[in-house]
Amino acid sequence: MKRFLILLPLAAAGILLSQCGTSGKAKGTKAPALSTYESNVQTVIMANCSPCHIPAKGGNKKPYDNFANVKSDIDEILRRIQLTPGTRGFMPMRGQKLSDSTIAVFKKWKEDGLAEK
Ligand code: HEC
Return the CA Rg of the chain: 23
Q: Residue 96: pLDDT above 70?
A: yes
Q: What's the pLDDT score for residue 30?
A: 76
The per-residue pLDDT for range 21-48, each reduced to its tens digit, is 444 444 566 778 999 999 999 999 999 9
Count CB-CB contacts under 10 A for residue 116.
14
Residue 65: closest CA among 74, 57, 76, 54: 54
Task: Please tell me if the CB atom of residue 76 comes closer than 6 angstroms to any atom of ligand 1.
Answer: yes
The per-residue pLDDT for range 42-93, each reduced to its tens digit, is 999 999 999 999 999 999 999 999 999 999 999 999 999 999 999 999 999 9
Q: Among 49, 61, 78, 106, name the best residue to mutate to test ligand 1's pocket (greatest count of ligand atoms within 8 A of Cβ).
A: 61
The span from the CA of 24 to the CA of 31, in Å, is: 11
Q: What's the pLDDT score for residue 24?
A: 45
